[in-house]
Structure 1
Protein backbone atom coordinates (compact mmCIF):
# COMPACT_ATOMS: atom_id res chain seq x y z
CA UNK A 1 0.00 0.00 0.00
CA UNK A 2 1.44 3.37 -1.02
CA UNK A 3 1.56 6.41 1.24
CA UNK A 4 -1.11 8.09 -0.89
CA UNK A 5 -3.44 5.10 -0.37
CA UNK A 6 -2.79 5.27 3.39
CA UNK A 7 -3.69 8.97 3.44
CA UNK A 8 -6.96 8.37 1.58
CA UNK A 9 -7.83 5.42 3.83
CA UNK A 10 -7.12 7.46 6.98
CA UNK A 11 -9.27 10.36 5.69
CA UNK A 12 -12.12 7.95 4.89
CA UNK A 13 -11.88 6.28 8.34
CA UNK A 14 -12.01 9.68 10.07
CA UNK A 15 -15.24 10.44 8.22
CA UNK A 16 -16.81 7.07 9.12
CA UNK A 17 -15.64 6.62 12.75
CA UNK A 18 -13.97 8.67 15.49
CA UNK A 19 -10.35 9.78 15.16
CA UNK A 20 -8.77 7.57 17.91
CA UNK A 21 -10.24 4.40 16.39
CA UNK A 22 -9.11 5.50 12.92
CA UNK A 23 -5.56 6.00 14.20
CA UNK A 24 -5.62 2.57 15.91
CA UNK A 25 -6.75 0.84 12.70
CA UNK A 26 -4.03 2.61 10.72
CA UNK A 27 -1.42 1.51 13.25
CA UNK A 28 -2.47 -2.13 12.68
CA UNK A 29 -1.43 -1.93 9.02
CA UNK A 30 2.00 -3.12 7.92
CA UNK A 31 4.54 -0.29 7.60
CA UNK A 32 5.02 1.09 4.10
CA UNK A 33 8.30 0.25 2.31
CA UNK A 34 10.82 3.06 2.04
CA UNK A 35 10.42 3.11 -1.75
CA UNK A 36 6.72 4.10 -1.37
CA UNK A 37 7.38 7.04 0.99
CA UNK A 38 7.34 10.45 -0.62
CA UNK A 39 10.44 12.52 0.11
CA UNK A 40 10.53 16.26 0.63
CA UNK A 41 12.08 16.58 -2.82
CA UNK A 42 9.18 14.62 -4.38
CA UNK A 43 6.64 16.90 -2.66
CA UNK A 44 8.57 19.98 -3.81
CA UNK A 45 8.74 18.68 -7.38
CA UNK A 46 4.99 17.91 -7.34
CA UNK A 47 4.23 21.38 -5.93
CA UNK A 48 6.42 23.02 -8.61
CA UNK A 49 4.83 20.97 -11.41
CA UNK A 50 1.31 21.77 -10.16
CA UNK A 51 2.16 25.47 -9.85
CA UNK A 52 3.65 25.47 -13.36
CA UNK A 53 0.53 23.78 -14.80
CA UNK A 54 -1.77 26.28 -13.06
CA UNK A 55 0.41 29.17 -14.27
CA UNK A 56 0.39 27.89 -17.84
CA UNK A 57 -3.41 27.46 -17.72
CA UNK A 58 -3.80 30.99 -16.29
CA UNK A 59 -1.56 32.46 -19.03
CA UNK A 60 -3.39 30.56 -21.79
CA UNK A 61 -6.82 31.59 -20.43
CA UNK A 62 -5.69 35.21 -20.08
CA UNK A 63 -4.31 35.16 -23.63
CA UNK A 64 -7.59 33.73 -25.01
CA UNK A 65 -9.65 36.35 -23.16
CA UNK A 66 -7.28 39.10 -24.34
CA UNK A 67 -7.52 37.90 -27.94
CA UNK A 68 -11.32 37.75 -27.70
CA UNK A 69 -11.40 41.26 -26.17
CA UNK A 70 -9.10 42.60 -28.91
CA UNK A 71 -11.17 40.96 -31.67
CA UNK A 72 -14.42 42.27 -30.16
CA UNK A 73 -12.93 45.76 -29.78
CA UNK A 74 -11.67 45.65 -33.38
CA UNK A 75 -15.12 44.61 -34.66
CA UNK A 76 -16.82 47.38 -32.66
CA UNK A 77 -14.24 49.90 -33.93
CA UNK A 78 -14.75 48.80 -37.52
CA UNK A 79 -18.52 48.98 -37.12
CA UNK A 80 -18.24 52.44 -35.52
CA UNK A 81 -15.98 53.65 -38.34
CA UNK A 82 -18.34 52.26 -41.00
CA UNK A 83 -21.35 53.79 -39.26
CA UNK A 84 -19.60 57.15 -38.96
CA UNK A 85 -18.60 57.03 -42.62
CA UNK A 86 -22.20 56.28 -43.64
CA UNK A 87 -23.49 59.12 -41.47
CA UNK A 88 -20.88 61.53 -42.88
CA UNK A 89 -21.73 60.51 -46.41
CA UNK A 90 -25.44 60.90 -45.70
CA UNK A 91 -24.83 64.29 -44.08
CA UNK A 92 -22.76 65.46 -47.05
CA UNK A 93 -25.36 64.25 -49.53
CA UNK A 94 -28.19 65.88 -47.54
CA UNK A 95 -26.23 69.13 -47.28
CA UNK A 96 -25.56 69.09 -51.01
CA UNK A 97 -29.24 68.50 -51.70
CA UNK A 98 -30.20 71.32 -49.33
CA UNK A 99 -27.63 73.64 -50.92
CA UNK A 100 -28.84 72.76 -54.34
CA UNK A 101 -32.42 73.21 -53.25
CA UNK A 102 -31.57 76.51 -51.58
CA UNK A 103 -29.84 77.73 -54.74
CA UNK A 104 -32.76 76.66 -56.88
CA UNK A 105 -35.21 78.25 -54.47
CA UNK A 106 -33.22 81.48 -54.42
CA UNK A 107 -33.09 81.49 -58.20
CA UNK A 108 -36.81 80.97 -58.37
CA UNK A 109 -37.40 83.75 -55.86
CA UNK A 110 -35.10 86.08 -57.78
CA UNK A 111 -36.85 85.19 -61.00
CA UNK A 112 -40.28 85.71 -59.46
CA UNK A 113 -39.41 89.04 -57.79
CA UNK A 114 -40.23 90.84 -61.01
CA UNK A 115 -43.69 89.29 -61.00
CA UNK A 116 -44.08 89.51 -57.20
CA UNK A 117 -47.42 91.12 -57.31
CA UNK A 118 -49.09 88.56 -59.58
CA UNK A 119 -47.18 85.44 -58.55
CA UNK A 120 -46.89 86.07 -54.77
CA UNK A 121 -49.52 83.45 -53.81
CA UNK A 122 -48.05 80.79 -56.12
CA UNK A 123 -44.50 81.46 -54.91
CA UNK A 124 -45.55 81.16 -51.24
CA UNK A 125 -47.27 77.82 -51.95
CA UNK A 126 -44.19 76.47 -53.65
CA UNK A 127 -42.00 77.53 -50.73
CA UNK A 128 -44.32 75.83 -48.22
CA UNK A 129 -44.34 72.62 -50.25
CA UNK A 130 -40.57 72.70 -50.51
CA UNK A 131 -40.25 73.26 -46.74
CA UNK A 132 -42.54 70.28 -46.03
CA UNK A 133 -40.58 68.03 -48.39
CA UNK A 134 -37.29 69.08 -46.85
CA UNK A 135 -38.63 68.42 -43.35
CA UNK A 136 -39.86 65.00 -44.44
CA UNK A 137 -36.44 64.15 -45.87
CA UNK A 138 -34.73 65.23 -42.65
CA UNK A 139 -37.18 63.10 -40.59
CA UNK A 140 -36.51 60.08 -42.79
CA UNK A 141 -32.77 60.60 -42.40
CA UNK A 142 -33.12 60.72 -38.59
CA UNK A 143 -35.21 57.53 -38.66
CA UNK A 144 -32.51 55.72 -40.68
CA UNK A 145 -29.83 56.85 -38.22
CA UNK A 146 -31.97 55.61 -35.27
CA UNK A 147 -32.52 52.22 -36.94
CA UNK A 148 -28.79 51.89 -37.63
CA UNK A 149 -27.98 52.73 -34.00
CA UNK A 150 -30.52 50.14 -32.74
CA UNK A 151 -29.11 47.45 -35.04
CA UNK A 152 -25.56 48.21 -33.90
CA UNK A 153 -26.62 47.98 -30.24
CA UNK A 154 -28.41 44.64 -30.88
CA UNK A 155 -25.30 43.18 -32.58
CA UNK A 156 -23.10 44.20 -29.62
CA UNK A 157 -25.59 42.63 -27.16
CA UNK A 158 -25.69 39.37 -29.15
CA UNK A 159 -21.87 39.21 -29.25
CA UNK A 160 -21.69 39.80 -25.48
CA UNK A 161 -24.30 37.07 -24.82
CA UNK A 162 -22.47 34.57 -27.06
CA UNK A 163 -19.16 35.27 -25.30
CA UNK A 164 -20.77 34.78 -21.88
CA UNK A 165 -22.40 31.52 -23.03
CA UNK A 166 -19.01 30.15 -24.19
CA UNK A 167 -17.41 31.01 -20.83
CA UNK A 168 -20.32 29.37 -18.93
CA UNK A 169 -19.99 26.23 -21.07
CA UNK A 170 -16.25 26.07 -20.29
CA UNK A 171 -16.99 26.37 -16.56
CA UNK A 172 -19.60 23.59 -16.80
CA UNK A 173 -17.07 21.28 -18.54
CA UNK A 174 -14.50 21.91 -15.76
CA UNK A 175 -17.17 21.13 -13.11
CA UNK A 176 -18.06 17.86 -14.89
CA UNK A 177 -14.40 16.79 -14.91
CA UNK A 178 -14.14 17.48 -11.19
CA UNK A 179 -17.30 15.42 -10.54
CA UNK A 180 -15.94 12.44 -12.56
CA UNK A 181 -12.66 12.59 -10.64
CA UNK A 182 -14.56 12.49 -7.31
CA UNK A 183 -16.55 9.44 -8.45
CA UNK A 184 -13.36 7.59 -9.45
CA UNK A 185 -11.78 8.30 -6.06
CA UNK A 186 -14.92 7.05 -4.27
CA UNK A 187 -14.92 3.83 -6.35
CA UNK A 188 -11.23 3.24 -5.57
CA UNK A 189 -11.90 3.63 -1.82
CA UNK A 190 -14.76 1.12 -2.01
CA UNK A 191 -12.58 -1.43 -3.84
CA UNK A 192 -9.83 -0.95 -1.26
CA UNK A 193 -12.23 -1.63 1.64
CA UNK A 194 -13.57 -4.76 -0.10
CA UNK A 195 -10.02 -6.05 -0.65
CA UNK A 196 -9.19 -5.57 3.04
CA UNK A 197 -12.36 -7.45 4.04
CA UNK A 198 -11.46 -10.38 1.72
CA UNK A 199 -7.94 -10.48 3.15
CA UNK A 200 -9.29 -10.59 6.72
CA UNK A 201 -11.75 -13.38 5.86
CA UNK A 202 -8.96 -15.45 4.22
CA UNK A 203 -6.81 -15.06 7.35
CA UNK A 204 -9.69 -16.26 9.53
CA UNK A 205 -10.22 -19.32 7.30
CA UNK A 206 -6.51 -20.19 7.46
CA UNK A 207 -6.59 -19.91 11.27
CA UNK A 208 -9.65 -22.21 11.45
CA UNK A 209 -7.91 -24.81 9.20
CA UNK A 210 -4.81 -24.65 11.39
CA UNK A 211 -6.85 -25.28 14.57
CA UNK A 212 -8.65 -28.24 12.97
CA UNK A 213 -5.34 -29.75 11.82
CA UNK A 214 -3.91 -29.34 15.35
CA UNK A 215 -6.99 -31.08 16.83
CA UNK A 216 -6.58 -34.02 14.41
CA UNK A 217 -2.89 -34.36 15.30
CA UNK A 218 -3.71 -34.40 19.03
CA UNK A 219 -6.37 -37.09 18.44
CA UNK A 220 -3.85 -39.15 16.43
CA UNK A 221 -1.23 -38.88 19.21
CA UNK A 222 -3.81 -39.94 21.85
CA UNK A 223 -4.83 -42.94 19.72
CA UNK A 224 -1.21 -44.02 19.31
CA UNK A 225 -0.65 -43.78 23.09
CA UNK A 226 -3.70 -45.91 23.87
CA UNK A 227 -2.67 -48.46 21.30
CA UNK A 228 0.80 -48.74 22.87
CA UNK A 229 -0.65 -49.29 26.37
CA UNK A 230 -3.14 -51.88 25.19
CA UNK A 231 -0.49 -53.94 23.39
CA UNK A 232 1.16 -54.65 26.76
CA UNK A 233 -1.90 -56.32 28.18
CA UNK A 234 -2.10 -60.14 28.32
CA UNK A 235 -4.94 -62.48 27.46
CA UNK A 236 -6.86 -63.32 24.35
CA UNK A 237 -10.03 -61.62 25.61
CA UNK A 238 -8.23 -58.37 26.20
CA UNK A 239 -6.68 -58.56 22.70
CA UNK A 240 -10.14 -59.03 21.20
CA UNK A 241 -11.46 -56.06 23.13
CA UNK A 242 -8.47 -53.98 22.02
CA UNK A 243 -9.11 -54.89 18.40
CA UNK A 244 -12.80 -54.03 18.74
CA UNK A 245 -12.03 -50.72 20.52
CA UNK A 246 -9.46 -49.82 17.90
CA UNK A 247 -11.93 -50.61 15.14
CA UNK A 248 -14.51 -48.36 16.80
CA UNK A 249 -11.96 -45.58 17.31
CA UNK A 250 -10.81 -45.82 13.69
CA UNK A 251 -14.45 -45.57 12.61
CA UNK A 252 -14.98 -42.45 14.77
CA UNK A 253 -11.78 -40.93 13.37
CA UNK A 254 -12.94 -41.64 9.83
CA UNK A 255 -16.30 -39.98 10.63
CA UNK A 256 -14.50 -36.97 12.10
CA UNK A 257 -12.25 -36.63 9.03
CA UNK A 258 -15.29 -36.93 6.74
CA UNK A 259 -17.10 -34.22 8.73
CA UNK A 260 -14.05 -31.92 8.61
CA UNK A 261 -13.14 -32.35 4.95
Structure 2
Protein backbone atom coordinates (compact mmCIF):
# COMPACT_ATOMS: atom_id res chain seq x y z
CA UNK A 1 0.00 0.00 0.00
CA UNK A 2 1.72 3.15 -1.18
CA UNK A 3 1.61 6.61 0.31
CA UNK A 4 -0.19 9.45 -1.44
CA UNK A 5 2.17 11.61 -3.45
CA UNK A 6 2.77 15.34 -3.04
CA UNK A 7 1.13 15.41 0.37
CA UNK A 8 2.41 15.05 3.90
CA UNK A 9 0.83 11.87 5.24
CA UNK A 10 -0.03 11.74 8.89
CA UNK A 11 -2.90 10.72 11.07
CA UNK A 12 -5.01 13.13 13.10
CA UNK A 13 -8.11 12.60 15.17
CA UNK A 14 -10.46 15.52 15.65
CA UNK A 15 -13.30 15.39 18.14
CA UNK A 16 -16.39 17.45 17.35
CA UNK A 17 -19.26 18.18 19.71
CA UNK A 18 -22.40 19.40 18.02
CA UNK A 19 -25.91 20.16 19.09
CA UNK A 20 -28.61 17.78 17.82
CA UNK A 21 -30.72 20.41 16.03
CA UNK A 22 -28.66 23.37 14.87
CA UNK A 23 -25.18 21.89 14.65
CA UNK A 24 -23.92 24.58 17.03
CA UNK A 25 -21.12 23.58 19.35
CA UNK A 26 -22.36 21.96 22.53
CA UNK A 27 -21.02 19.69 25.22
CA UNK A 28 -21.08 15.90 25.31
CA UNK A 29 -23.52 15.25 22.50
CA UNK A 30 -21.54 13.78 19.62
CA UNK A 31 -17.98 12.62 19.01
CA UNK A 32 -16.54 11.69 15.60
CA UNK A 33 -13.00 10.78 14.54
CA UNK A 34 -11.52 11.73 11.16
CA UNK A 35 -8.37 10.31 9.57
CA UNK A 36 -6.22 12.73 7.63
CA UNK A 37 -5.26 11.92 4.03
CA UNK A 38 -6.13 8.23 4.32
CA UNK A 39 -2.84 6.98 5.72
CA UNK A 40 -2.14 3.74 3.83
CA UNK A 41 0.24 2.42 6.46
CA UNK A 42 -0.06 2.04 10.24
CA UNK A 43 -2.05 4.70 12.07
CA UNK A 44 -0.38 6.87 14.72
CA UNK A 45 -2.96 7.46 17.41
CA UNK A 46 -3.00 11.02 18.72
CA UNK A 47 -6.56 11.80 19.91
CA UNK A 48 -5.41 14.95 21.70
CA UNK A 49 -3.74 16.36 18.55
CA UNK A 50 -0.64 17.05 20.63
CA UNK A 51 1.45 17.63 17.50
CA UNK A 52 -0.93 20.28 16.12
CA UNK A 53 -1.15 23.63 17.85
CA UNK A 54 -2.80 27.04 17.69
CA UNK A 55 -4.98 28.25 14.84
CA UNK A 56 -4.56 25.09 12.79
CA UNK A 57 -6.48 23.05 15.36
CA UNK A 58 -9.26 25.66 15.46
CA UNK A 59 -9.49 25.76 11.65
CA UNK A 60 -9.79 22.00 11.33
CA UNK A 61 -12.27 21.95 14.18
CA UNK A 62 -14.50 24.56 12.56
CA UNK A 63 -14.35 22.86 9.16
CA UNK A 64 -15.38 19.57 10.74
CA UNK A 65 -18.15 21.30 12.66
CA UNK A 66 -19.45 22.83 9.42
CA UNK A 67 -19.47 19.36 7.83
CA UNK A 68 -21.48 17.93 10.71
CA UNK A 69 -23.89 20.88 10.54
CA UNK A 70 -24.37 20.46 6.78
CA UNK A 71 -24.53 16.66 6.78
CA UNK A 72 -25.67 14.87 9.97
CA UNK A 73 -24.01 11.74 8.60
CA UNK A 74 -20.85 13.63 7.57
CA UNK A 75 -18.09 11.26 6.47
CA UNK A 76 -15.51 13.62 4.96
CA UNK A 77 -14.25 17.13 4.37
CA UNK A 78 -11.38 18.90 2.58
CA UNK A 79 -9.43 21.56 4.48
CA UNK A 80 -6.46 23.76 3.56
CA UNK A 81 -4.68 25.16 6.61
CA UNK A 82 -3.01 27.93 4.56
CA UNK A 83 -5.99 29.27 2.63
CA UNK A 84 -8.77 28.33 5.02
CA UNK A 85 -10.59 26.39 2.27
CA UNK A 86 -13.23 24.11 3.77
CA UNK A 87 -15.29 21.75 1.59
CA UNK A 88 -17.66 19.42 3.49
CA UNK A 89 -19.20 16.40 1.78
CA UNK A 90 -21.57 13.55 2.68
CA UNK A 91 -19.07 11.10 1.15
CA UNK A 92 -15.39 11.45 0.18
CA UNK A 93 -15.29 10.34 -3.45
CA UNK A 94 -16.00 13.81 -4.83
CA UNK A 95 -13.08 15.28 -2.86
CA UNK A 96 -10.30 12.87 -3.87
CA UNK A 97 -9.33 14.74 -7.06
CA UNK A 98 -9.07 18.02 -5.14
CA UNK A 99 -6.88 16.36 -2.50
CA UNK A 100 -4.59 14.78 -5.09
CA UNK A 101 -4.31 18.17 -6.83
CA UNK A 102 -2.91 19.61 -3.60
CA UNK A 103 -5.89 21.84 -2.83
CA UNK A 104 -6.16 20.60 0.74
CA UNK A 105 -6.09 17.71 3.15
CA UNK A 106 -8.88 15.14 3.07
CA UNK A 107 -10.37 13.92 6.35
CA UNK A 108 -12.42 10.72 6.31
CA UNK A 109 -14.24 9.09 9.19
CA UNK A 110 -12.77 5.86 10.49
CA UNK A 111 -13.69 4.39 13.86
CA UNK A 112 -10.14 3.68 15.00
CA UNK A 113 -11.14 3.40 18.69
CA UNK A 114 -13.62 0.74 17.57
CA UNK A 115 -10.90 -1.38 15.96
CA UNK A 116 -10.86 -0.05 12.38
CA UNK A 117 -7.89 1.38 10.44
CA UNK A 118 -7.77 3.14 7.08
CA UNK A 119 -5.82 1.51 4.24
CA UNK A 120 -5.25 2.39 0.60
CA UNK A 121 -3.88 0.87 -2.59
CA UNK A 122 -4.25 2.72 -5.89
CA UNK A 123 -7.85 3.80 -6.33
CA UNK A 124 -9.06 1.64 -3.45
CA UNK A 125 -9.35 2.87 0.13
CA UNK A 126 -11.30 1.40 3.00
CA UNK A 127 -11.74 1.49 6.76
CA UNK A 128 -10.97 -2.10 7.75
CA UNK A 129 -10.95 -4.34 10.82
CA UNK A 130 -9.32 -7.75 10.42
CA UNK A 131 -10.76 -10.21 12.93
CA UNK A 132 -8.55 -13.26 13.49
CA UNK A 133 -10.16 -14.41 16.72
CA UNK A 134 -12.66 -15.75 17.42
CA UNK A 135 -13.12 -17.71 14.22
CA UNK A 136 -16.83 -17.96 13.40
CA UNK A 137 -19.15 -19.09 10.61
CA UNK A 138 -20.24 -16.75 7.82
CA UNK A 139 -23.55 -15.72 9.40
CA UNK A 140 -21.97 -14.90 12.76
CA UNK A 141 -19.16 -13.00 11.02
CA UNK A 142 -21.71 -10.86 9.16
CA UNK A 143 -23.56 -10.19 12.42
CA UNK A 144 -20.33 -9.29 14.22
CA UNK A 145 -19.46 -6.73 11.54
CA UNK A 146 -22.95 -5.21 11.74
CA UNK A 147 -22.53 -4.82 15.50
CA UNK A 148 -19.28 -2.96 14.82
CA UNK A 149 -21.18 -0.57 12.54
CA UNK A 150 -20.04 -2.10 9.27
CA UNK A 151 -20.40 -5.14 7.03
CA UNK A 152 -18.30 -8.06 5.79
CA UNK A 153 -15.82 -6.40 3.44
CA UNK A 154 -16.46 -6.04 -0.27
CA UNK A 155 -13.81 -6.94 -2.86
CA UNK A 156 -15.08 -5.41 -6.08
CA UNK A 157 -11.88 -4.18 -7.76
CA UNK A 158 -8.33 -5.35 -8.46
CA UNK A 159 -6.94 -2.49 -6.37
CA UNK A 160 -9.09 -3.60 -3.43
CA UNK A 161 -7.82 -7.17 -3.85
CA UNK A 162 -4.22 -5.94 -3.98
CA UNK A 163 -4.83 -3.89 -0.85
CA UNK A 164 -5.93 -7.00 1.03
CA UNK A 165 -3.00 -9.01 -0.32
CA UNK A 166 -0.55 -6.42 1.00
CA UNK A 167 -2.40 -6.12 4.30
CA UNK A 168 -2.82 -9.85 4.98
CA UNK A 169 0.36 -11.26 3.43
CA UNK A 170 0.48 -15.06 3.49
CA UNK A 171 -2.58 -15.41 5.74
CA UNK A 172 -5.62 -17.15 4.30
CA UNK A 173 -9.28 -18.01 4.79
CA UNK A 174 -11.09 -14.76 5.62
CA UNK A 175 -14.84 -14.39 5.16
CA UNK A 176 -15.81 -11.42 2.96
CA UNK A 177 -19.24 -10.06 2.12
CA UNK A 178 -20.67 -12.08 -0.74
CA UNK A 179 -22.87 -15.19 -0.92
CA UNK A 180 -25.43 -17.04 -3.03
CA UNK A 181 -27.40 -18.50 -0.12
CA UNK A 182 -30.77 -17.09 -1.21
CA UNK A 183 -30.57 -18.26 -4.82
CA UNK A 184 -27.98 -20.71 -6.08
CA UNK A 185 -25.73 -19.11 -8.69
CA UNK A 186 -26.84 -15.54 -7.89
CA UNK A 187 -24.01 -13.84 -5.98
CA UNK A 188 -24.93 -10.80 -3.88
CA UNK A 189 -22.86 -8.24 -1.94
CA UNK A 190 -23.83 -7.86 1.74
CA UNK A 191 -22.66 -4.23 1.62
CA UNK A 192 -25.67 -3.01 -0.36
CA UNK A 193 -27.59 -6.07 -1.56
CA UNK A 194 -26.54 -5.57 -5.18
CA UNK A 195 -26.00 -8.52 -7.50
CA UNK A 196 -22.38 -9.18 -8.46
CA UNK A 197 -23.29 -11.74 -11.13
CA UNK A 198 -25.44 -14.81 -11.71
CA UNK A 199 -25.07 -18.00 -13.70
CA UNK A 200 -27.39 -18.59 -16.64
CA UNK A 201 -28.18 -21.10 -19.36
CA UNK A 202 -25.16 -19.96 -21.37
CA UNK A 203 -22.50 -19.37 -18.72
CA UNK A 204 -21.69 -21.20 -15.48
CA UNK A 205 -20.89 -19.41 -12.23
CA UNK A 206 -17.18 -19.87 -12.90
CA UNK A 207 -17.48 -18.32 -16.34
CA UNK A 208 -19.64 -15.44 -15.12
CA UNK A 209 -17.25 -14.77 -12.23
CA UNK A 210 -14.42 -14.29 -14.71
CA UNK A 211 -16.55 -12.17 -17.06
CA UNK A 212 -18.01 -9.89 -14.37
CA UNK A 213 -15.07 -9.85 -11.93
CA UNK A 214 -12.00 -10.52 -14.04
CA UNK A 215 -8.92 -11.31 -11.96
CA UNK A 216 -10.60 -11.46 -8.56
CA UNK A 217 -11.48 -15.17 -8.34
CA UNK A 218 -9.31 -18.25 -8.08
CA UNK A 219 -10.02 -18.86 -11.77
CA UNK A 220 -10.52 -21.24 -13.49
CA UNK A 221 -11.55 -23.36 -10.50
CA UNK A 222 -13.85 -21.07 -8.54
CA UNK A 223 -16.64 -20.67 -7.66
CA UNK A 224 -17.50 -24.35 -8.02
CA UNK A 225 -20.07 -25.04 -5.25
CA UNK A 226 -18.14 -28.19 -4.37
CA UNK A 227 -20.48 -31.00 -3.30
CA UNK A 228 -23.36 -28.49 -3.64
CA UNK A 229 -22.34 -27.13 -0.25
CA UNK A 230 -20.34 -23.92 -0.88
CA UNK A 231 -22.37 -20.71 -0.83
CA UNK A 232 -20.26 -18.15 1.06
CA UNK A 233 -17.20 -16.30 -0.15
CA UNK A 234 -13.78 -16.04 1.44
CA UNK A 235 -10.35 -14.72 0.55
CA UNK A 236 -8.08 -17.75 0.24
CA UNK A 237 -4.50 -18.23 -0.88
CA UNK A 238 -4.55 -19.51 -4.46
CA UNK A 239 -1.94 -22.11 -5.40
CA UNK A 240 -2.58 -21.19 -9.04
CA UNK A 241 -2.06 -17.43 -8.71
CA UNK A 242 0.17 -17.26 -5.61
CA UNK A 243 -1.97 -14.67 -3.85
CA UNK A 244 -5.32 -14.19 -2.11
CA UNK A 245 -8.27 -14.71 -4.44
CA UNK A 246 -12.02 -15.11 -3.98
CA UNK A 247 -13.25 -18.63 -3.31
CA UNK A 248 -16.63 -20.12 -2.39
CA UNK A 249 -16.71 -22.27 0.74
CA UNK A 250 -18.95 -23.96 3.28
CA UNK A 251 -20.84 -21.25 5.19
CA UNK A 252 -20.83 -23.14 8.49
CA UNK A 253 -17.01 -23.29 8.63
CA UNK A 254 -15.40 -21.23 11.40
CA UNK A 255 -12.97 -18.77 9.83
CA UNK A 256 -11.32 -15.39 10.29
CA UNK A 257 -13.13 -12.45 8.69
CA UNK A 258 -12.79 -8.85 7.54
CA UNK A 259 -15.16 -6.05 8.51
CA UNK A 260 -15.46 -2.78 6.59
CA UNK A 261 -16.89 0.48 7.88
CA UNK A 262 -19.35 2.46 5.78
CA UNK A 263 -17.21 5.33 4.48
CA UNK A 264 -18.61 4.83 0.95
CA UNK A 265 -15.12 5.50 -0.48
CA UNK A 266 -15.06 2.50 -2.79
TM-score bucket (shorter structure): under 0.3
User: Which of the pair is proportionally richer in helix?
Assistant: 1
Using structure 1 for the length normalisation, give the TM-score: 0.14
User: Which of the pair is proportionally richer in strand?
Assistant: 2
| Structure of higher RCO (CA pairs closer than 8 Å, 6+ residues apart) | 2
Q: Which has the greater radius of gyration? A: 1
